[in-house]
Amino acid sequence: MRLHPRRLFSRLLRSRQVEGVLFVLPYGAIWALFLLWPVIYGFYISLFKWQPLLGSEFIGLKNYANLLQDARFWNALRNTFWFAALAMPLIIGIGLLFALFIWGSGRRRGGGFIEASFFWPYLLNVSIVSIIWKWLFDPDFGLILAYLRGIGLDPPVFLNDPLWVVPAIAFATGWWLAGYRMVVFRAAMEDIPDTVFELAELDGANPVVRLFRILIPLLKPAILFSLVLTAISSFRVLGQVLMMTDGGPGRASEVLALYLYRAGWQYLEMGRAAALGFVLFLIILVVTLVGFWVIGLESELGGR
């Protein structure tokens, strides 16, 4: 017996699969409009010699070929990876240490104040963080250099030294962002039943074993989330570099995002800027996929 089209349509709407698609559709449309389409259109622009005032000329992959021959691109790429290699362990490591400290101290008096003290730098915006640390690292009246000289050391002028400028910015970024990762790890630790550690203690597991064989593996989802979030923010770093050093001294701290900004808005080479943006997108995508592969979440994601 054939169903009337109206009844068939009504039955389809009541099915769970269609219902799920309808719930996802509004978010999917917004995601496609504001995230997927800009990526596709950015790649399209990267195939042109695109200048707002002079028009555009299709040049294929020439922008990418020019990047491979551009010493400034390789310098920015090296600085970006150097910053990420320093900032990511700092942010995740400090956040995990803070979370372990607060979780290990339990509900002792003053624990909430300590946790709030660790978290509050994250509430500041990038401008305030950059100004604070630029002042702290100032060679004339900065507190950090004054203290180090006061105890008899001869420190480098961090923001003016090509060797130390990227580590200095990475340290400031770690101070700023570690508090949020601490909250993520702290929430994950609170979800672990106390009986897991009690049984491990009864079996004779010492604190080190409980940390590395029980706690850390159970924190895999939180670690992966923090890794992805930190990788994205590290490879897209711009505000701290722009406000603390403007890419200097020379180009010792110029990163890919800063080079992209200058190519697009100072030199009006939109095609080159779009190519830089697509390269940055691919780097972040690869780093994220490597994070999934290294940490491995087969059991958490339902795979076997």
Regarding pTM above 0.75, the answer is yes
pLDDT of residue 296: 65
pLDDT of residue 14: 58
pLDDT of residue 291: 82
Residue 219 · residue 92 · CB < 8 Å: no
pLDDT of residue 247: 92
φ/ψ (deg, to 5) at 57: -140, 125
Within the chain, which residues score under 70 in pLDDT? 1-18, 106-111, 296-304
Q: Where are the chain's structural domains?
A: 70-254
Residue 16, helix vs strand vs coil: helix
What gap in Å lies between CA 14 and CA 166, rounded to an integer?
A: 57
What's the CATH superfamily of 70-254? MetI-like (1.10.3720.10)
What gap in Å lies between CA 33 and CA 152, rounded to an integer?
A: 58
